[in-house]
Structure 1
């Protein structure tokens, strides 16, 4: 420990991770503890840091600062970074299958000591994996990212005074096999020009630039393309979402709002799924009417995926870390060496001290 104050490293590799970890940073500071950011790789930029946020710019600085715990919304973290490694996830389980044919959300990469899960549908699988591997522990805490949403905090920059039309939020993942954006472009263009609804469009940061530019060029009085590192205000602004398999749709559902999906592979009943472009408009009309049976299924699903509505998931994460720090790591088995993975991380960060 450091003079009675705990130190927490916020370890990110994507710009959207700032919004994921900032609620945790607020909870850390409210306790009188310390938080610093570490930016890994070339897909994240320090320009998103705020004036009162501290950054450590090298592994040597991180080691000298010696954090008690490291919060990671990504999939990996090097073992030469000090502190217990805490997985807090960059989103929900959207059912995406990786190259090995496994659900990526539950892939164990031998990097983490603690998984802070969002709800029973993730807690149960990770608990089984913890029993199988023995190298990490699992605590259900809820997702800190959503704390501002449930507290009613945050800005509302996307409302238009005097415009009471329903707002459709179009989101899409970047995966070519799963992305709806290229397929539904002409239909979105047609619907936006009709002017019945106001459209907001936001894509995953890794979306192909050609698709991004195409939708940017589509902007008109009824459609706005948004680039942001924080989607929560967008979720608040919309009445219905049109999406594919992006996990952002789960965040939208947790606001008690309906989602229309295009060619969603899960076919789950809490979604209004369509496979034909011509079915998009009637599906959106149905969703905007909020039929009782659909909204009941949405509520049931949300209870399973994220039952916490108190906006205190950050505090639960910190409590879980406190418990592990107090108990120590003796109850956990040593992690597999995974030499190749850690060598790759050393090469990526150009750090070769052992």
Structure 2
């Protein structure tokens, strides 16, 4: 591939784990990467000393990337380059996953669960392309080693609820998890979404003990590898865990399938844990079927395929017959947020 410049346009801390495998692939090809932070939610200390960070929109325009990659929902039209949606999660059930915001030239989808519907949307809107590439974050998932979080050999449960007030299980399972922690039959790893209500962050933090740890690192791959089962709701991390062939217990999942142990009464949690720790053959088969539909790639080359898709557009143009909509109102709002008024 031709040496090129690429931009990572980010607004949340989870972007680092998603985009760093893509950065590694770009650098290995002799190309350049620069990061740009929109908003104030990113912890700037997460940047490595050798990562290039651009401080203003003017710097981004001067950098002039051939493509800008976004693990979020929006990128302004005035940011240069082919605008590429790489997504911030695998969970297609969440409200907004298939909303077209008129921002992207290319959607890099993960598997049939998302590709098929985005292809339908592409035929409808006619201004963006869709390419199934896999998700860059998962390039390192399958070779990430387990980490020893506890000094015992008890089963380890990863509790990873989403933050959405209408979907999160954190309030409903607090009492049951508290009782289970005191029983000391399991180890608990708890990973909250960055946007989780601070009330629940504080309450669960009080449960910290020799067999419960709150994990604040944005690097989740080691958690997924280290846990035996997961308890969640409709979080995007469910799909990532399922790719490892492990059981997931879901509280009030918005679209429960046979690959989940779904329950609707908090008091059923202890029984669900017992079922998950001795999964049936039918459950394991269902998990593997779902994983294949969600993200069939296990080769660690999703980043490579993304760059191939971008290069194809660079050389041959989009298949879509229309240009991106002007999106005047949204772009004016972004100019105000980013304090950029040069036209």
Both structures adopt the same fold (TM-score exceeding 0.5): yes
Which residue of structure 2 aligns with residue 342 of structure 1?
331
Which residue of structure 2 aligns with residue 159 of structure 1?
149
Which residue of structure 2 aligns with residue 187 of structure 1?
176
Match of 2:34, SS state, is strand
Superposition deviation, residue 156 in structure 1: 4.1
Contact 1:264 1:273 in 2 (8 A): yes
Contact 2:86 2:135 in 1 (8 A): yes
Which residue of structure 1 aligns with residue 245 of structure 2?
256
Equivalent in 138, 141, 146 of residue 138 of structure 2: 146
Equivalent in 43, 46, 57 of residue 44 of structure 2: 46
Deviations 1:29-81 (A, max 9, x none): 11111111111101112110011111111111111111010010001101111
Which residue of structure 1 aligns with residue 86 of structure 2?
88
Name the CA shift for 1:329/1:264 in 2 (closer, same or farther; >3 Å).
Answer: closer
Name the CA shift for 1:339/1:166 in 2 (closer, same or farther; >3 Å).
Answer: same
Q: Within the alignment, does 1:115 sit opposite 2:107 as a pair?
A: yes
Which residue of structure 1 aligns with residue 230 of structure 2?
241
Which residue of structure 1 aligns with residue 187 of structure 2?
198
Partners of 1:320 and 1:53 in 2: CA distance: 24
Which residue of structure 2 aligns with residue 276 of structure 1?
265
Match of 1:106, SS state, is coil
Partners of 1:37 and 1:158 in 2: CA distance: 33
Q: Within the alignment, does 1:290 sit opposite 2:279 as a pair?
A: yes
Contact 1:174 1:206 in 2 (8 A): yes
Superposition deviation, residue 5 in structure 1: 2.2
Match of 2:127, SS state, is coil
Q: How many residues align?
A: 343
Q: Within the alignment, does 1:221 sit opposite 2:219 as a pair?
A: no
Superposition deviation, residue 230 in structure 1: 1.5
Superposition deviation, residue 330 in structure 1: 7.7
Match of 1:138, SS state, is strand
Superposition deviation, residue 214 in structure 1: 0.7
Gaps of 5+ in 2: none
Contact 1:156 1:236 in 2 (8 A): yes
Which residue of structure 1 aligns with residue 117 of structure 2?
125
Contact 1:20 1:145 in 2 (8 A): yes
TM-score calculated relative to the size of structure 2: 0.97
Contact 2:91 2:235 in 1 (8 A): no
Partners of 1:122 and 1:174 in 2: CA distance: 22
Name the CA shift for 1:279/1:60 in 2 (closer, same or farther; >3 Å).
Answer: same
Q: What does 1:318-337 align with in structure 2 at a 5 Å threshold?
A: 318-329=307-318, 331-337=320-326
Match of 1:21, SS state, is helix
Contact 1:169 1:201 in 2 (8 A): yes
TM-score calculated relative to the size of structure 1: 0.94
Partners of 2:164 and 2:105 in 1: CA distance: 30
Q: CA RMSD in A?
A: 1.4
